[in-house]
């Protein structure tokens, strides 16, 4: 078997066999197949696509290219959640404690963010002393005792994906749906959870900008997960504006804590309730969606979800006092108020550009080597559909210096469109794929 023949077959629109996909992934992982041939194959996949069977097989081969986590000691109620990314996405910090308070076992591996804001790992490091490095034994122990754990990804989790993604990033093949599906699902399957729920973003601040492409991605990921024997659901949600009001690491942690205390952050709360409902039902922890949602809401009202977050922080070396007193989280020295420049409704917001404002303040990283300032970012005072008068508070900028704040204000104001007429917004939850 030759890689040359596999490339030609896919270039000509053929369907690759299980054996050919195995040969390609095994050989590339071992370093026996050069980057230029893999780049050629990925471009062929980009233009020719893959059948559901090919995509599923590619995912399984990538899953087994490295370590596969065994969560069976935790029982049948293990769950994981994945988001396709977006601005202000602090969902895991709310969802995981809620599910844990309802008897689930959320065993998550997360990475660091590259782009406008930090990843979940970066956000959690806002807690003084918090660590995501742990042995496999400690990972299972924390998941069992606390109900959830969030650790950094092991170096050998789906190594084929790491190698392929680096090539996709420089060969204009990142947005191939079969390659996206296999990249995401290989890591999720290798992480071992029985139930996997996906949050697929759509809109100007999302990777999948159109609703059609978001639903296609959701369907393919759900199908691959089912093929692998997992309980699956995907929720397609709006990302034309940031999720919640806070954009920036410690600021997002603070907002997540406020939701666990019962604060009214409608989109973030609703998303976590919908994701959590699907987890509880599909993992067998609730018989109906109504029962699941009621239990999740009760976890907030009773304070048990907030206590679970504190227990997780404590178990991973952080200071749980910061859960109950958010003034202990990193705070920027400069807090600058941005005023509305005119009367009118907020007709549109450029979510991705608002994320870039946070990044330029130091809240994200352009390269893996960049150091994030956990304290900086933007807190919105109003979102799409709100009517503001000139001089009303539009947002608050948290910055390192006055000069940074002034530059951020100029950049932020360009992210808004105002109108005399109230905008018509599509529903935040676009649909659920099962």
Report the SS3 class of residue 82.
Answer: strand
DSSP string over 89-106: --HHHHHHHHHHHTT-EE
Reference 59, options 232, 294, 277; nearest CA is: 232
Give 3-49's CATH code, choosing from 1.20.970.10, 2.130.10.10, 3.40.50.970, 1.25.40.10: 1.20.970.10
Name the active-site residue from 82, 108, 201, 295. 82
Answer whether residue 114 shows pLDDT above 60. no
Domain ranges of the chain: 3-49, 72-324, 331-419
CB of 42 closer than 8 Å to CB of 36: no
360 among known catalytic residues: no
Name the active-site residue from 81, 108, 162, 187. 187
pLDDT digits (tens, 9 = 90+) for 76-97: 999 999 998 889 999 999 999 9
The overall average pLDDT reported for the chain is 94
pLDDT at 169: 84
As a whole number of angstroms, the distance between CA 384 and CA 428 comes to: 12
Q: For residue 350, which phi and psi values (nearest 5 degrees)?
A: -90, 95
Mention the CATH class of domain 72-324: alpha beta
In terms of Cβ atoms closer than 10 Å to its own Cβ (0-12, 13-18, 19+), residue 140 is buried
Name the active-site residue from 10, 105, 162, 168. 168
Q: Which helix (H) or strand (E) holds 321?
A: helix 321-324
As a whole number of angstroms, the distance between CA 40 and CA 120 comes to: 33
Reference 356, options 169, 120, 117; nearest CA is: 117
pTM: 0.94
Reference 261, options 186, 324, 216, 207; nearest CA is: 324
Quote the tokens at residue 311.
Answer: 């227990």
Strands lying side by side in the sheet with 105-110: 148-152, 105-110, 78-83, 195-202, 231-238, 429-433
Q: What mean pLDDT do residues 213-223 have?
A: 96
Cα distances (Å, whole numbers) of residue 16 to 48, 158, 227, 369: 12, 21, 18, 38
What is the rounded radius of gyration, in angstroms, for the C-alpha atoms of the chain?
A: 22
As a whole number of angstroms, the distance between CA 291 and CA 277 comes to: 9
As a whole number of angstroms, the distance between CA 270 and CA 278 comes to: 12
pLDDT at 154: 74
194 among known catalytic residues: no
187 among known catalytic residues: yes
| DSSP bridge partners of 114 | none
pLDDT digits (tens, 9 = 90+) for 138-193: 999 999 999 999 998 777 889 999 999 889 989 999 889 999 999 999 999 999 99
Quote the tokens at residue 190.
Answer: 């290798």
CB of 249 closer than 8 Å to CB of 118: yes
Strands lying side by side in the sheet with 393-399: 246-247, 377-380, 393-399, 334-339
pLDDT at 336: 98
Reference 394, options 383, 402, 403; nearest CA is: 383
Report the SS3 class of residue 348.
Answer: strand
Report the SS3 class of residue 160.
Answer: helix
pLDDT at 97: 98
161 among known catalytic residues: yes
Q: What mean pLDDT do residues 29-49 have?
A: 96
Answer whether residue 113 shows pLDDT above 70. no
- 431 Cβ neighbours under 8 A, 6+ residues apart: 215, 235, 236
Name the active-site residue from 83, 126, 176, 183. 183
Cα distances (Å, whole numbers) of residue 262 to 110, 177, 248, 303: 26, 38, 21, 9
Name the active-site residue from 161, 240, 384, 404. 161
pLDDT at 353: 94
Which residue did the predictor score with more confidence, 118 or 144?
144
336 among known catalytic residues: no
> What topology is assigned to 331-419 in CATH?
Aldehyde Oxidoreductase; domain 3 (3.90.1170)
CB of 111 closer than 8 Å to CB of 158: no
DSSP string over 218-274: HHHHHHHHHHTT-EEEEEEEE-SS-SSSEESHHHHHHHHHHHHTT---HHHHHHHHH
């Amino acid at each position: 078997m030759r890689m040359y023949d596999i490339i030609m077959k896919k270039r000509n629109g053929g369907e690759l066999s299980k054996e050919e996909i195995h040969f390609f992934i095994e050989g590339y992982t071992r370093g026996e197949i050069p980057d230029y041939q893999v780049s050629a194959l990925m471009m062929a996949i980009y233009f020719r696509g893959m059948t559901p069977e090919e995509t599923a097989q590619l995912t399984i081969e990538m899953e087994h290219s490295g370590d596969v986590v065994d969560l069976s000691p935790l029982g049948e109620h293990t769950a994981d959640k994945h988001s396709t990314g977006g601005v202000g996405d602090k969902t895991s910090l709310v969802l995981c404690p809620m599910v844990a308070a309802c008897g689930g076992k959320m065993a998550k591996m997360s990475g660091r963010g590259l782009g406008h804001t930090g990843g979940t790992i970066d956000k959690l490091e806002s807690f003084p002393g918090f660590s995501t490095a742990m042995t496999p034994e400690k990972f299972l122990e924390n998941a069992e005792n606390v109900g959830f754990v969030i650790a950094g990804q092991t170096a050998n989790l789906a190594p084929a994906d790491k190698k392929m993604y680096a090539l996709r990033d420089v060969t204009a093949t990142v947005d191939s749906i079969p390659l996206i599906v296999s990249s995401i699902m290989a890591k999720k399957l290798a992480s071992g959870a029985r139930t996997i729920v996906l949050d697929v973003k759509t809109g100007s601040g999302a990777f999948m900008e159109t609703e059609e492409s978001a639903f296609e991605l959701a369907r393919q990921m759900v199908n691959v997960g089912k093929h692998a024997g997992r309980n699956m659901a995907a929720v397609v949600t709006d990302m034309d504006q940031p999720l919640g009001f806070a954009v920036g690491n410690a600021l997002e942690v603070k907002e997540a804590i406020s939701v666990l205390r019962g604060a009214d952050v409608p989109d973030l709360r609703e998303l976590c309730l919908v994701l959590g409902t699907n987890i509880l039902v599909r993992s067998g922890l609730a018989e109906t969606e109504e029962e699941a949602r009621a239990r999740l809401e009760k976890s907030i009202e009773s304070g048990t979800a907030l206590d679970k977050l504190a227990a997780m922080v404590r178990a991973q070396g952080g200071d749980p006092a910061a859960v109950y007193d958010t003034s202990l989280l990193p705070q920027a020295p400069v807090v600058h108020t941005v005023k509305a420049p005119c009367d009118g409704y907020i007709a549109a917001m450029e979510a991705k550009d608002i994320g870039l404002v946070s990044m330029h303040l130091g809240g994200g990283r352009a390269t893996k080597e960049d150091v994030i300032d956990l304290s900086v970012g933007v807190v919105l005072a109003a979102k799409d559909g709100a009517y503001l008068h000139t001089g009303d508070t539009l947002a608050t900028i948290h910055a390192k210096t006055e000069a940074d704040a002034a530059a951020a204000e100029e950049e932020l104001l360009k992210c808004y469109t105002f109108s005399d007429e109230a905008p018509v917004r599509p529903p935040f939850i676009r649909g659920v794929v099962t």
